[in-house]
Amino acid sequence: MVVSREQVLDSIREIIRTDLKFSGIEIGEDLELVGGGLGLDSLDLLMLVTGIEKRFGHKIQHKKLNRDTMGTVGRFADFAFAELSAAAK
């Protein structure tokens, strides 16, 4: 399945709004997932990752998940898009 980065980003925003119950806030690419931004905990991050996995039918390599790949909404979108693109080849 070929997906665009925009589709991945839209899915991340949808998961944050619906699954994690952050409706009504602006979810920009610079928004931090952990810490001063959304303040997600490990369970929230797991729900975000598994939500992407379910939507796109691909298992993300959990050993690559860290502050660099999940620091902000945009960084996670880049990472998830790269993972999904590599799997489509």
Which tens digits make up the pLDDT trace of 31-55? Answer: 999 988 899 999 999 999 999 999 9
pLDDT over 70 (residue 57)? yes
Instruction: Report the number of distinct structural domains present in the chain.
Output: 1
Tell me the CA distances in angstroms from 37 to 8, 31, 80, one per residue in order.
20, 6, 20
Q: Which residue has the higher pLDDT, 61 or 73?
A: 73
Chain centroid, CA 49 distance in Å: 6
Q: How does the average pLDDT of the chain come out, rounded?
A: 93
Containing structural domain, residue 14: 5-88
Please state, for a pLDDT cut of 70, what percent of the chain lies above it: 99
Q: Over the Cα atoms of the chain, what is R_g?
A: 12
| Cα dist from 64 to 11, 14, 22, 50, whole Å | 20, 23, 25, 14
pTM given for the model: 0.93
Q: What is the CATH number of the domain that holds 68?
A: 1.10.1200.10
